[in-house]
Structure 1
Amino acid sequence: MGTRDGATAAGRAAAVLAAGALALAAGAAGAPAALADGPDTPPQVLAEIEALEWPEYSFGDTDTDVAVAGYLLRHLGHFTGEPRDHFTTYTEDAVTAFQEDADLHVTGTLNQETWTALRGAVFGEWGRGLPNDSGDPVRAIQYSLAVDYGKDLVVDGRYGARTEAAVEEVQREFGIDDDGIVGEITLRAMVCGGV
């Protein structure tokens, strides 16, 4: 599935309109190359993905992305225990600690600003054979791929051939150059449900 369950046609249409505006504002160069996971991703796709709204979560919410954020927060030392789909007081405390450390507006919620800062704090590039090929960010990737995109993966934190192949499949669905590496663009597309 190219988009996650629950993505609305209106939301996709709004994202496409916003992406068009972003592409015009960005000029012919498109999105910055540092955000591109695959070197041959079309600039329009980069702009569309960057225009997607991050999902927002607060205490009591339940979604796969809450666990994804939990793995990223644990990687940064703000979360202990096993990340779950349910946004608990532990999640709220971890988000608050991250927001304080990142000098963000402290809300205790996973909002646009927090997701953007969290992505920037963790991603570079994660992939098989790269220096970043294991740990909680890989668990976050695997968990999203397994739960949101139906990929048959074990969430073991090791970026092996199966994880790489699953990333490539999802990248193709999103129109991202399928290099099998998760950087800022692929992560945002996965969390936001693609374009």
Structure 2
Amino acid sequence: MRAELVLMGKRLDMAARVRRRALVVSIYAGLALLMASLWSVDRWHTSGVYMIFATIFVNRLFLGGYNFGGLIKPFNGKAPRRSAYRETPFLMLALRVYQPTPEESEYRSDEREVHQRDRAHYQAYKVLTIGLTVLWLVADWKMKVPRLLMWMHVSADGLLYGLVLMAIVAALTLPQAILLWTEPDMEEEVTASISGQPG
């Protein structure tokens, strides 16, 4: 896990657990606000896909995990791909832009981090199982006993679509959020490792 975020050239210290938890709450509050706003625009008819794009953007910028970038190392342990055509214009203009390749420790997880990643996915899996059970229950009521959903001001199809959107957002963000929420303060780990080394 990285200890800082870089946003628009500014470094934000995220070593403290309180800051990471505030980031997780802010991300989910922002995604909930976006989802409600998109509902008010067109009942997610065409704007629902923007929810998925926003989630991918949040992963890329803040969370990481499924994307290179953010606080969590990539889950797949692979280095980011570099495109050769981006360097060509600089070479043609005889300009040199230093783009260092990331160190292996920036994208490969050690044994402890792999264990934490697996545990976070297991916890996220339990939450998603509950969410999918609720989704199945609503779909079952819609199909077999539609009058159970008539008291709502939302159509059953709209409700199902919203639940599916929430399940996708949770599937793409929940393991990273669990890791950010549960990791202790990083200063304590760094201090413990420094004090354990011979001087």
Q: Say yes or no: TM over 0.5.
A: no
Task: Report which of the two has the higher share of strand.
Answer: 2
TM-score under structure 2 length normalisation: 0.30
